Amino acid sequence: MSADVLALLRDALGERVDTRPASLHDARADKSGHAATGTPLAVVHAASVDDVQATLRIATATRTPVVTRGAGTGLAGGANAGGGEIALSVRDMTRILEVRADDLIAVVEPGILNGDLNAALAAQGLWWAPDPASRAISTVGGNIATGAGGLLCAKYGVVRDAVLGVDLVLADGRLLHLGHRSVKGVTGLDLTSLIIGSEGTLGVVVGATLKLRRAVPGEVRTLAATFPDVRTAAVASAAVTASGVQPAIMELMDAASLAAVHRLLQLPAPTPGAAQLTIQTDGPAAATEAEAIADVLRGVGGTVAVAADAAEGERLLTVRRSMHPAMETLGTSLIEDVSVPRSALPAMFDEIARVEREHGLAIPTVAHAGDGNLHPNFVFAGPDVPPEVWAAADDLFRAALRLGGTLTGEHGVGVLKRRWLVDELGEDQWELQRGIQRVFDPLGIMNPGKVFAP
Amino acid sequence: MSADVLALLRDALGERVDTRPASLHDARADKSGHAATGTPLAVVHAASVDDVQATLRIATATRTPVVTRGAGTGLAGGANAGGGEIALSVRDMTRILEVRADDLIAVVEPGILNGDLNAALAAQGLWWAPDPASRAISTVGGNIATGAGGLLCAKYGVVRDAVLGVDLVLADGRLLHLGHRSVKGVTGLDLTSLIIGSEGTLGVVVGATLKLRRAVPGEVRTLAATFPDVRTAAVASAAVTASGVQPAIMELMDAASLAAVHRLLQLPAPTPGAAQLTIQTDGPAAATEAEAIADVLRGVGGTVAVAADAAEGERLLTVRRSMHPAMETLGTSLIEDVSVPRSALPAMFDEIARVEREHGLAIPTVAHAGDGNLHPNFVFAGPDVPPEVWAAADDLFRAALRLGGTLTGEHGVGVLKRRWLVDELGEDQWELQRGIQRVFDPLGIMNPGKVFAP
């Protein structure tokens, strides 16, 4: 059977079918450090919509599961391909098909890196706002598949706010054009939004019409503020939000995260126990907003430095963006991604401290404090999550739910969060979502075992 | 059978079941002037989620169609209830359950008027941005059901951008909580977005968690600019968009629209043939932005007046907001709602002129020029759309599609646009959407004949 599938793929796609052991090995894992069981049949490097359609027609004819992959930077195992599966990579589909400055839209292929797209747009004074910390290495298609967030979301929105349409290849190979090119559009059900964050379970995104912004004029200001402990930093961030000033970026790092990043970047060790807020303001009022925020931060006991220099600001943010590489140096991580209403951020840090205490684990945590999204990291040795880590993560997730929060703010469910999906959605909604998934994929070949797995 | 349904409803809901002839008559129509065939069995005035659930359990048990209604201000016939149907009104569910200034969210019942909600929020320095021209008389639930837009969309977004979660009662009476209270959230499929704009075909929205904004500081500036003809006005609006200055509002009225509104409001008749742009800037840079826009408008031949006075600005916008009442004085309208990429606005006005010429009809047109959404009005006598109007509307819709546009920007499909749904979506996507609708409503009792009707 596997031999038949391979033969059909090779017949249709020739050299685009890759069965080198290193390629198959890489396709099993993502940046979470977790790997699928078994080895995929092949990696298909699609270069066109036709290639994707051909692959899916063969997959449907042979009932072979398909796992769509971009750059493999996911953090929930959602694109890990295992035994008996085809890994369908769209990483080679990197073209920018159209940029319209007057209409503020771009039409792109899914494999282009977020950073590459934004470099090209910057030349025209434009940008696509979604800004995951991985933007230099993650694809636009992957950003769409996970419904990615990032650092700028409180002010500039998430992927859902920045995509007008997607082209989708269904499990049986048919191509659909969903959404529109206009600012407004309500013709029928909003399937574009349904695809965003669906993690490869509904079809393969082969193109996207993106909603752009004009580059924000003026210089940015970057603030770094240290606090004696993480709870005070969280209170400070909530105070900034409540003050009504809207920073572009507001990131929180706890003491353990700061220490790990400083080690990785060979910076001087930070003050033990101290937590840090890194805040950036932009736009015409950046300087006055930075001063207003500095006042708020000092009012809750922060030690504040303001950088007007762009290079210094970028250096401060590099500390935050190095969190994931720093965690990788310590072992494998189960990265939680809970999101709570912004006012609940201090309470959520209390809950993390409680879980650390009760479970006897260290949980280095960073947060997109401006939008209430936290990334507590459970670090351990080896590829498999130990039972005591699952237990602590379960405790932490339920605490987030009690605070009005959600399981995953931006990483997606993948395999690492699927055990909790029904707890948040409830049985009725879980079944309804599963029913919708089956309408797209009646044979169950689109990324099976992800998101909705039992 | 009808008698059984009524008896069951009365038994469960008592006085909330209304069979007065005037009530039944009103439930047949909306602000489009079109009415359903036949008379509904009853209007159920739900006052609670329990009432909605009870109604739907009876509807499912008896296989009775249910048409959900708010204030009846729709413009596509989507909430018109006809023979054998239950009209389920949520207009009495008007409570604001929660407002959180720190988290920028409000939780509301669906029957509250958009204007009433915003009046309450204004006292706390907050607002919910969706701003349909009907905001004084339309409900939040109706805004969600249609995926409403409005005047402020280019700068402040549409309903899809302003709803974090909805509570939905399914056809069988089960209650689901969709979405989340946090800024970010990607747990499972985005069913909240799927409900937005689904026009009562998936379930009944009984609550919504809304994403609020802080009131924009500073005084607004309002510009009125007249142009010798509508095409020049459209070119001017495209020039404003291309200049990079983002107005809060940019509305275009053609000569026939202006004349009709001036008559209704007993204002002096406008210059024959002249078209008008009404533009508002807001925020700290309102004054300088208004000056920059005035320069652009004069550069393309506009005669520009700038009002710094808020009352004068509101008076100028009242002219635009009176368009629908002015059309009502002329007869029944088939209001097109096409939306095109902003740069295509002048070309779309050329197409409207062509359709007027070739079909021998006058088509008074207003446009949300800032986002490319046009409302060409076909006015005629009597409740039924004459064949020649359908033919002209068909011609106009296909022109919008050729320009990269869409059938409906903000009014929805209802009954008046359903004949074109498949033309825009294609057969494959139409079937897929129908399949999704059946997952929510396997018996086909949720607003049958709307949106997806053959």
Q: A258 pLDDT exceeds 70?
A: yes
Q: B81 pLDDT exceeds 90?
A: yes
* β strands within B191-248, DSSP E: 204-211, 213-214, 221-227
- What share of chain A in percent tops pLDDT 90? 87
Kindly determine whether residue B421 and residue A153, on different chains, have CB atoms separated by under 8 Å.
no
Considering only the beta carbons, identify the residue of B197, B341, B440 that sits closest to A186.
B197
Look at residues B17, B93, B108 and name the one whose alpha carbon lies nearest to residue B54: B17
SS3 (DSSP) at B339: strand
Kindly determine whether residue B186 and residue A408, on different chains, have CB atoms separated by under 8 Å.
yes
Two structure tokens written together for A322: 């190095």
Residue B357: other Cβ atoms inside 10 A: 9
The CA distance from A60 to A401, in Å, is: 38
Closest residue, chain B, to A183 (C-alpha) = B371
Q: What is the mean pLDDT of residues A203-232?
A: 95
Tokens 């919504």 correspond to: B208
Q: Angle, nearest 10°, between helix axes B418-440 and B387-402?
A: 80
Q: What is the mean pLDDT of residues B142-167?
A: 93
| CA dist list (Å): B393 to A64, B215, B335, B412, B414 | 46, 39, 9, 15, 16
Q: What is the mean pLDDT of residues B430-440?
A: 98
Considering only the beta carbons, identify the residue of A183, A342, A451 that sits closest to B371.
A183
Q: What is the mean pLDDT of residues B226-244?
A: 94
Considering only the beta carbons, identify the residue of B154, B407, B433 that sits closest to A183.
B154
Q: A454 pLDDT exceeds 70?
A: no
Residue A307 C-alpha, separation from nearest chain B C-alpha, in angstroms: 24
Closest residue, chain B, to A427 (C-alpha) = B176
- Spell out which residues of chain A touch residue B184, defining contact as CB-CB under 8 Å: 149, 153, 158, 339, 368, 371-373, 406, 409-410
Considering only the beta carbons, identify the residue of A174, A241, A424 that sits closest to B187.
A424
The CA distance from B196 to B191, in Å, is: 9
Two structure tokens written together for A110: 């899914």
Residue B328: other Cβ atoms inside 10 A: 15
Closest residue, chain A, to B181 (C-alpha) = A341
A210 confidence band (pLDDT: 50, 70, 90)? very high
Kindly determine whether residue A424 and residue B198, on different chains, have CB atoms separated by under 8 Å.
no
pLDDT tens-digit series, residues A20-38: 999 999 999 999 888 999 9
- Spell out which residues of chain B touch residue A101, defining contact as CB-CB under 8 Å: 242
- Spell out which residues of chain B touch residue A399, defining contact as CB-CB under 8 Å: none
Tokens 């249709």 correspond to: A12
Kindly determine whether residue A161 and residue B158, on different chains, have CB atoms separated by under 8 Å.
no
Q: What is the ipTM for the molecules in this complex? A: 0.95
Q: What is the mean pLDDT of residues A246-269?
A: 95
Closest residue, chain A, to B150 (C-alpha) = A184
Residue A360 C-alpha, separation from nearest chain B C-alpha, in angstroms: 28
Compute φ and ψ for A188, nearest 5 degrees.
75, -165
Q: A387 pLDDT exceeds 70?
A: yes
Closest residue, chain B, to A407 (C-alpha) = B187
- Inter-chain Cβ pairs, chain A and chain B, closer than 8 A: 249
Give pLDDT, residue A285. Answer: 87
Give pLDDT, residue B217. Answer: 84
| Domains within chain A, CATH numbers bracketed | 2-89 (3.30.43.10), 96-214 (3.30.465.10), 221-402 (3.40.462.40)
- A454 against A129, higher pLDDT: A129
| Residue B72 falls in which region: left (phi positive, over 0), alpha (psi -120 to 50) or beta | left
Q: A63 pLDDT exceeds 90?
A: yes
Q: A223 pLDDT exceeds 80?
A: yes
Kindly determine whether residue B102 and residue A435, on different chains, have CB atoms separated by under 8 Å.
no
Q: Is the dihedral of CA B310, B311, B316, B318 positive or negative?
A: positive
Q: What is the mean pLDDT of residues A381-402?
A: 93
Kindly determine whether residue A189 and residue B214, on different chains, have CB atoms separated by under 8 Å.
no
Give pLDDT, residue A1. Answer: 65
Give pLDDT, residue A424. Answer: 95
Kindly determine whether residue B425 and residue A187, on different chains, have CB atoms separated by under 8 Å.
yes
- Spell out which residues of chain A touch residue B238, defining contact as CB-CB under 8 Å: 102
Compute φ and ψ for A107, nearest 5 degrees.
-115, 125
Give pLDDT, residue B28. Answer: 97
Q: What is the mean pLDDT of residues B354-372?
A: 95
Q: Is residue A42 classed exposed, middle or buried when 0-12, 13-18 and 19+ CB atoms within 10 A define those classes?
A: buried
Q: B235 pLDDT exceeds 70?
A: yes
Give pLDDT, residue B1. Answer: 65
- Spell out which residues of chain A touch residue B102, defining contact as CB-CB under 8 Å: 238, 241-242, 342-343
Residue B444: DSSP 8-state: -
Q: B262 pLDDT exceeds 80?
A: yes
Give pLDDT, residue B383. Answer: 79
SS3 (DSSP) at B46: coil
Closest residue, chain B, to A216 (C-alpha) = B244
Q: What is the 3-state secondary structure (H, E, C) of chain A?
A: CHHHHHHHHHHHHHHHEECCHHHHHHCCECCCCCECCCCCCEEEECCCHHHHHHHHHHHHHHCCCEEEECCCCCCCCCCCCCCCCEEEECCCCCCEEEEECCCCEEEECCCCEHHHHHHHHHCCCEECCCECCCCCCCEHHHHHHHCCCECCHHHHCCHHHHEEEEEEECCCCCEEEEECCCCCCCCCCCHHHHHCCCCCCCCEEEEEEEECEECCCCCCEEEEEEECCHHHHHHHHHHHHHHCCCCCEEEEECHHHHHHHHHHCCCCCCCCCCEEEEEEECCCCHHHHHHHHHHHHHHCCCEEEEECCHHHHHHHHHHHHCHHHHHHCCCEEEECECECCHHHHHHHHHHHHHHHHHHCCCCCEEEECCCCEEEEEEEECCCCCCHHHHHHHHHHHHHHHHCCCECECCCCCCCCCHHHHHHHHHHHHHHHHHHHHHHHCCCCCECCCCCCCC
- Spell out which residues of chain B touch residue A178, defining contact as CB-CB under 8 Å: 429
Considering only the beta carbons, identify the residue of A160, A181, A242 that sits closest to B190.
A160
Closest residue, chain A, to B173 (C-alpha) = A428
- Spell out which residues of chain A touch residue B103, defining contact as CB-CB under 8 Å: 341-343, 372
Closest residue, chain B, to A240 (C-alpha) = B102
pLDDT tens-digit series, residues A168-208: 999 999 999 999 999 899 999 999 999 999 999 999 999 99
The CA distance from A277 to A253, in Å, is: 7
Give pLDDT, residue B439. Answer: 98
- What share of chain B in percent tops pLDDT 90? 87
Considering only the beta carbons, identify the residue of B202, B343, B440 that sits closest to A103.
B343
| CA dist list (Å): B353 to B236, B348, B358 | 18, 9, 9
Considering only the beta carbons, identify the residue of B244, B340, B432 that sits closest to A439.
B432
Give pLDDT, residue A269. Answer: 94
A138 confidence band (pLDDT: 50, 70, 90)? very high
Give pLDDT, residue B119. Answer: 98
- What share of chain A in percent tops pLDDT 70? 100
pLDDT tens-digit series, residues B13-70: 999 999 999 999 999 999 988 899 999 999 999 999 999 999 999 999 999 999 999 9
Task: Give the count of alpha carbons within 13 A of B45, CB side only.
Answer: 13
Q: What is the mean pLDDT of residues B193-200?
A: 98
Closest residue, chain A, to B214 (C-alpha) = A244
Please, what is the average pLDDT of chain B?
95
Please, what is the average pLDDT of chain A?
95
Q: What is the mean pLDDT of residues A355-362?
A: 96
Considering only the beta carbons, identify the residue of A102, A149, A178 that sits closest to B241.
A102
Two structure tokens written together for A175: 């191509």
Considering only the beta carbons, identify the residue of B160, B285, B439 that sits closest to A436.
B439
pLDDT tens-digit series, residues A419-449: 999 999 999 999 999 999 999 999 999 999 9
- Spell out which residues of chain B touch residue A245, defining contact as CB-CB under 8 Å: none
- Spell out which residues of chain A touch residue B242, defining contact as CB-CB under 8 Å: 101-102
B358 confidence band (pLDDT: 50, 70, 90)? very high
Give pLDDT, residue B454. Answer: 66
